[in-house]
Amino acid sequence: MSFAKTIIDKLAGNSKIFTFLRKVLEINFIVQKRLVKKYFGDVASQKVLDIGCGTGEFADLFKKADYYGVDISEDYIAFAKRNKPGKFSVMDATQLQFLDNEFDKVLIMAILHHLDDETVKKVLAEAKRVVKPGGQILIMEDAKIKSLLNFITKPLQSLDKGDYIRNAKEYTSLVALYFEIEKQGEFRSGAITYAYFLAR
């Protein structure tokens, strides 16, 4: 592991530094938040699960919903509990401690690129289990896409803590195993490139 990547991994382990760095690199997640509002719309009174919620950056978008955020990091969840609205729990996304068909909406943002294919399948299978029939899932993941600005993006991706940054086609193959994809696309969030999927 390179010295630079070692430093990045250590910084990512600190919730305050992680939140600050991601907001700087991704211009406060403006594009992601716009997509959540566009595709999930008014979720008042609905039950929403944010898998891999990190520090709860998206919780404010769901104030009128019954919002649950889960993450494997105790530090991130502690930060979210102190600073964001909602119900937060430390939880392994491959073994969600929720009932079948419990949620109307499920959000997965930037966790699958940390996981190998078999673990991604377990996460998606759990997401499918807990979402209601006809419920929606929105997935946004760091991805390899063609862009004139990749001279900035590629070095950052090489330092990313996630070792499984895929292209859109590879994500599509995994998501389609469990969900019917309604919309998909690619976007740039500051210095980072993403693929997204809206599915049922």
CB 194, CB 113: distance < 8 Å = no
Kindly give the residue spans of alpha helices, DSSP state H, lying in the chain: 3-12, 15-25, 30-40, 74-83, 117-130, 150-159, 168-175
Q: Is the pLDDT of residue 172 over 50?
A: yes
Q: For domain 3-199, is the CATH number 3.40.50.261? A: no
Helix (H, G, I), strand (E, B) or coil at 148: coil
Please give the pLDDT value at position 4.
Answer: 44
Residue 162: pLDDT band with limits 50, 70, 90: low
Could you give the angle at which helices 3-12 and 15-25 cross, rounded to 10 degrees?
110
Domain layout of the chain by residue ranges: 3-199
- Taking residues 2-14, report their average pLDDT: 50
Please give the pLDDT value at position 197.
Answer: 98
Helix (H, G, I), strand (E, B) or coil at 132: strand
AA letter at 43: V
Q: Which region holds residue 110: left if phi is over 0, alpha if psi is between -120 and 50, else beta? A: left
Q: What is the pLDDT of residues 48-91, one digit of tens each?
A: 999 999 999 999 999 999 999 999 999 999 999 999 999 999 99
Please give the pLDDT value at position 117.
Answer: 98
Q: Which region holds residue 68: left if phi is over 0, alpha if psi is between -120 and 50, else beta? A: beta
Q: What is the mean pLDDT of the chain?
A: 87
Selection from 103, 123, 127, 102 nearest residue 114 by Cα: 123
- Taking residues 21-31, report their average pLDDT: 80
User: pTM, whole model, 2 decimals?
Assistant: 0.85
- Taking residues 8-32, report their average pLDDT: 70
CB 166, CB 115: distance < 8 Å = no
Selection from 45, 46, 93, 36 nearest residue 69 by Cα: 93
Residue 163: pLDDT band with limits 50, 70, 90: confident
